[in-house]
Amino acid sequence: MTGLTRPEVTSEQILAAALKSLDDMKAEEVVQIDLRGKTAVCDYMVICSGRSSRQVAAIAEKLAEDLKHDLGILSKTEGQDTGDWVLIDAGDVIVHVFRPEVREFYQLEKMWMPMGRDANKRAST
């Protein structure tokens, strides 16, 4: 599954737009993981939480809309119907939006973060 992006849009621009959208939607515990050179899946992974299934679905929907409007990126989403865990594939940036309990269960940060180092974190405001 790959999001459709315009060739002139960089992964850093996608990341910045995604982080802004997540901040606007009050996503919590936003973590960005730099995967450049570590996997062919994507350049960056972003993991965040919403307080409820409704907020998780709303964050994912708004993020996809913002990326389409601002950068012309047609992202693909999975899991929006249940709202427990939604994956937004924007090509070089993949965003996971979780309910807190589901995030704790899967612990994706531990799987993808470099050993002995913290991922880059952005505090929610």
CATH number of the domain where residue 45 is located:
3.30.460.10
Predicted TM-score of the model (pTM) = 0.85
Q: Is 115 exposed, middle or buried (0-12, 13-18, 19+ CB in 10 A)?
A: exposed
Is 63 a member of any domain?
A: yes
In-domain check, residue 121: no
What distance in Å separates the CA atoms of residue 122 and residue 23, rounded to the nearest whole number? Answer: 9
Task: Tell me, yes or no, whether 105 lies in a domain.
Answer: yes
Q: Is residue 76 part of a domain?
A: yes
Decide if 118 is inside a domain: no
* Domain presence at residue 52: yes
Domain that holds residue 96: 11-113
Is residue 114 a contact partner of residue 18, using CB atoms and an 8 Å limit? no
47-77 pLDDT, tens digit each:
999 999 999 999 999 999 999 999 999 999 9
Residue 65 belongs to some domain of the structure:
yes
The total domain count for the chain is 1
Tens-place pLDDT, residues 33-51: 999 988 889 999 999 999 9
